[in-house]
Structure 1
């Protein structure tokens, strides 16, 4: 069930909150098992076939962790991580590797049309983070219920944010509604939920009509005009931001309703003045994962400039592949790796750049490379690039109003988390958010619901 759906907002969420509140009030020991059960119901609502995979993933990794702590066998953790990544590759990348093999003359690798289990990338990375830290002696052992909740907590299981065990496990033992700030947390959680819904439903989804037809035309081999190319590229730039940051705001807000604080994932990324700054603001928890568990492991900036540049390129290329099983994603990630490497060389050479120029160059780079992220093939991306760079007819009918509004909201205001925590409690504010929620519900009932873009990753 989608966060932006009636069944979630008007049925599942109220029922979940009531059950959680009753357990917290009368049977505190039941609180965590109930949250685990609710998380499995939420996950299984999409497709019951996915539930055994999630349950087996949780159970096997927990058993490996227990076995490692008993035996201290150094081979167990690498084997478990390799198995997790192998399962991810089997579901997500088997056809991708088959396509690569088919480029070799005489090879005819078959395609297997398996359904990609939702959230498999995210819960796999949660396993990797915990097991890696366990092997390093940084993570303790946890019982099965707590570990299951860490992996499967329903606000973040499908599309993050990527949460380290150290950020959330200690919160499971709190009595959230006994805190002095419990009412404030609930209020701010509801505000974040409303803001996230509004970003998705009122800003992100309307941009789809400016984006999808153009990229579909490019995929069909049609000529994309200059106006269409810039409309679709700028439209997607803000569509993916409002779609994904809206999901994150909803996840953070929902977690607060259940007494859990999740890490932020976006910090006004389109105000970044360098590519490094952009990745500190965009999908922050993924950037942190890539840095700490890939980049540093490859040597990072500790073994000389050559290793650093190679590690940046490899990390971002793998990050691109994680986003999607296609060469366009690989190219997108590699370009960002090259861009980050160019930034390192610039700073090593003592280069300086005015903030405004840095913002402009960063924005252009990010916007243009989004084409590879969105296009279904290099041929489709090339058709859009031709339009962007004036190698196609000028065209007309640029839909600028929706894009301009989206750009203003994305770049001028604070992040939703910062805004919600700055607002003082007030009845008028509560009424305003109640009205916003009603407007969102009316919009959901009026239009088709779009799935979140990151659900496909």
Structure 2
């Protein structure tokens, strides 16, 4: 059930809002169990066979957390974290690790023989478990009931592709009466605007770029020669496609959550305007960056034990961050490249060397663009063919498709973020009419064109 699908926009979401409003109005005690039930229904729609895995992971982690709070046995939390990572590893990385053992081939644990062994959202809800358990052991997180914990993990706007929400950002909101707030109508309206903005970014900007990206990378995967024009066209198009696809999803997730009275954290802040790679990771997938910093980089030593260890911690953190995105060496290489570049940036700052803003932006943007090839290519051989084309080692080619890329670049580099625009816009009848017209046009567009899944659903 894609956010950008008729069944979600015209059936599931209106029905869910209606029954949620009725519960909040007449039976407030039913609100959280109802939201949890709706979240399980949403998740089950993708593949009901993996719903028991989500339910079991919630039940097991909650039970171990409860026992820990009673007995204060630290090893229980360690056990719970290991079990979570083991389940993630079995489903997502079995084939990756098996590839290093000669003669052994695996594609992951496909318990149903469907050919699709990866439960949607498993990387995201696993990290939610880890965040809560680590903070519970440290004495920062409170013990909560099963329903509230289950909703923290499975809340349907964010269960499949984030944002990665910390318990401290959401648990207290479950205790509120969202429609009784003085600003309830304004929050609901801004949620609708965010939903429309996210849909527009995904359907009107991100999806059309797929026609520029997919054919070229498919040709590279088959061994075809990629021209200079093809290489730059596909890579620049993917640079903006993945941004509008993922940030569009995030805007929709934040907007939908607001409709139910829940504020989720932002995940993007105009990342392609960054003046350094460090700044880029403060703006791109911000909740993942914070997770990697607080739950991996700092425990590895961070900046507390000298420069050599800090550089190692940066490299390991980003390499593992790359592996989190996908079970393949190209993802590891993508993360490792960012780790090395972040290390170079750290050394540059430590040396006190100047970096003009324009040059810093250009270097950062070009580095991010070049490394997206590794993220998208699927194999080093395909990535090499794209790089050969981009570097002019083949023919120049012709037929550059640039209009959709130019529009996407203008919005990403000049225009305001959806979050900022929605929260700065004053309430007005004209704005409401424009949003309704835009929503209607998007529905027509969804009906006419291919309806692409969100890129980050595969992670």
CA distance in 1, matches of 2:109, 2:409: 38
CA distance in 2, matches of 1:11, 1:3: 11
Contact 2:94 2:106 in 1 (8 A): no
Superposition pairs of residues 85-100 of structure 1, within 5 angstroms: 85-100=85-100
Superposed CA deviations along residues 99-118 of structure 1, whole A, max 9, x for unmatched, are 1223xxxx334444622000
What is residue 233 of structure 2 aligned with on the other side?
A: 231
Q: SS of 1:75's equivalent?
A: helix
What is residue 46 of structure 2 aligned with on the other side?
A: 46
Superposition pairs of residues 285-304 of structure 1, within 5 angstroms: 285-304=287-306
CA distance in 1, matches of 2:169, 2:2: 26
CA distance in 2, matches of 1:22, 1:154: 19
CA distance in 1, matches of 2:106, 2:321: 26
1:5 to 2:5 alignment: yes
CA distance in 1, matches of 2:179, 2:258: 11
Q: 1:343 aligns with which of 334, 345, 350?
A: 345
What is residue 28 of structure 1 aligned with on the other side?
A: 28
Contact 2:93 2:108 in 1 (8 A): no
CA distance in 1, matches of 2:318, 2:288: 11
What is residue 77 of structure 1 aligned with on the other side?
A: 77
CA distance in 1, matches of 2:109, 2:234: 30
CA distance in 1, matches of 2:382, 2:337: 18
What is residue 403 of structure 2 aligned with on the other side?
A: 401
Structure 1 runs not aligned, ≥5 long: none
CA distance in 1, matches of 2:109, 2:241: 28
1:424 to 2:426 alignment: yes
What is residue 108 of structure 1 aligned with on the other side?
A: 104
Q: SS of 2:445's equivalent?
A: helix
Superposed CA deviations along residues 88-140 of structure 1, whole A, max 9, x for unmatched, are 000000001111223xxxx3344446220000000000000000000000001
1:56 to 2:28 alignment: no
Superposition pairs of residues 39-188 of structure 1, within 5 angstroms: 39-102=39-102, 107-112=103-108, 114=110, 115-188=117-190
CA distance in 2, matches of 1:222, 1:254: 43
What is residue 370 of structure 2 aligned with on the other side?
A: 368
CA distance in 1, matches of 2:109, 2:139: 40
Q: SS of 1:93's equivalent?
A: helix
1:280 to 2:282 alignment: yes
CA distance in 1, matches of 2:435, 2:349: 45
CA distance in 1, matches of 2:62, 2:446: 40
What is residue 333 of structure 1 aligned with on the other side?
A: 335
CA distance in 1, matches of 2:238, 2:25: 45
Cα deviation for residue 77 of structure 1 reads: 0.5
What is residue 113 of structure 2 aligned with on the other side?
A: none
What is residue 114 of structure 2 aligned with on the other side?
A: none
- Structure 1 205/251 Cα, relative in aligned 2: closer, same or farther at 3 Å? same
Superposed CA deviations along residues 282-302 of structure 1, whole A, max 9, x for unmatched, are 000000000000000000000
| TM-score (norm. length: structure 1) | 0.98
CA distance in 2, matches of 1:99, 1:23: 51
| TM-score (norm. length: structure 2) | 0.98
Structure 2 runs not aligned, ≥5 long: 111-116
What is residue 449 of structure 2 aligned with on the other side?
A: 447
Superposed CA deviations along residues 241-272 of structure 1, whole A, max 9, x for unmatched, are 00000000000000000000000000000000
CA distance in 2, matches of 1:217, 1:155: 35
Q: SS of 2:210's equivalent?
A: helix
RMSD, matched Cα:
0.7
CA distance in 1, matches of 2:163, 2:252: 11
1:254 to 2:256 alignment: yes
Superposed CA deviations along residues 216-254 of structure 1, whole A, max 9, x for unmatched, are 000000000000000000000000000000000000000
CA distance in 1, matches of 2:44, 2:298: 36
- Structure 1 353/185 Cα, relative in aligned 2: closer, same or farther at 3 Å? same
CA distance in 2, matches of 1:112, 1:315: 24
Contact 2:257 2:263 in 1 (8 A): yes
Q: SS of 1:138's equivalent?
A: coil
- Structure 1 427/111 Cα, relative in aligned 2: closer, same or farther at 3 Å? closer
Q: SS of 2:453's equivalent?
A: coil
Which one is further off, 406-415 or 323-332?
406-415
Q: 1:412 aligns with which of 414, 417, 436?
A: 414
What is residue 392 of structure 1 aligned with on the other side?
A: 394
- Structure 1 314/405 Cα, relative in aligned 2: closer, same or farther at 3 Å? same
